C-alpha cells in the first residue's frame, strides 16, 4: 500500500525548508505538491512568505503575494505580521497586486 503526502505534510516540509533558509527547495516542494494535485493554502504560502523575508528576497515575496491574490487566496493575520515591516511588500498588498 502506497501512502502519499497530503497538504499538511507538504506544509510541514515546506516550513522546515524555509526555517533552514532553503527557500528554493521549499518552492520546489510547492511545485511537487501542485503536480500531485494538491492546492496551495494560506499556511503553506505563509511559510514561504516567512522564508523569503528571512532571506531578504523582497521581489520573490511580492511575486508570491501576487500569486496568492490572483489565485483568490486571502492572506491571514500571521502573513501580514510577517511581511508587515517591509514597506514595498505592504504597498503590494494594499494595491491588491
The x, y and z cell numbers of residue 43, run together, are 499556511
Taking 90 as the threshold, does the pLDDT of residue 14 lie above it? yes
Q: What local confidence, expressed as pLDDT, does residue 28 receive?
A: 94
Of the chain, the percentage scoring pLDDT greater than 90 comes to 27
Q: What local confidence, expressed as pLDDT, does residue 49 receive?
A: 86
Average pLDDT over residues 12-24: 93
CB atoms within 10 A of CB 93: 18
* Distance in angstroms (rounded) separating the CA atoms of residues 2 and 95: 45
Taking 50 as the threshold, does the pLDDT of residue 4 lie above it? yes
* Distance in angstroms (rounded) separating the CA atoms of residues 96 and 15: 25
Q: In the chain, what are the domain boundaries?
A: 7-94
Q: Which of residues 61 and 11 earns the better pLDDT score? A: 11
Q: Alpha helix locations (H) across the chain?
A: 7-19, 23-35, 42-54, 58-70, 77-83, 87-94
> For the ranges 45-49, 69-73, 78-82, which has the lowest average pLDDT?
78-82
Amino acid at each position: 500500500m502506497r501512502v502519499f503526502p497530503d497538504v499538511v505534510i507538504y506544509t510541514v516540509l515546506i516550513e522546515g525548508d524555509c526555517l533552514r533558509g532553503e527557500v528554493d527547495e521549499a518552492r520546489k516542494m510547492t511545485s511537487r505538491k501542485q503536480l500531485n494535485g494538491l492546492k496551495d493554502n494560506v499556511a503553506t504560502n505563509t511559510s514561504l512568505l516567512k522564508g523569503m523575508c528571512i532571506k531578504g528576497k523582497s521581489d520573490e515575496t511580492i511575486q508570491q503575494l501576487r500569486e496568492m491574490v490572483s489565485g483568490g487566496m486571502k492572506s491571514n493575520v500571521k502573513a501580514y505580521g510577517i511581511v508587515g515591516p517591509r514597506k514595498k511588500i505592504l504597498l503590494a498588498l494594499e494595491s491588491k497586486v
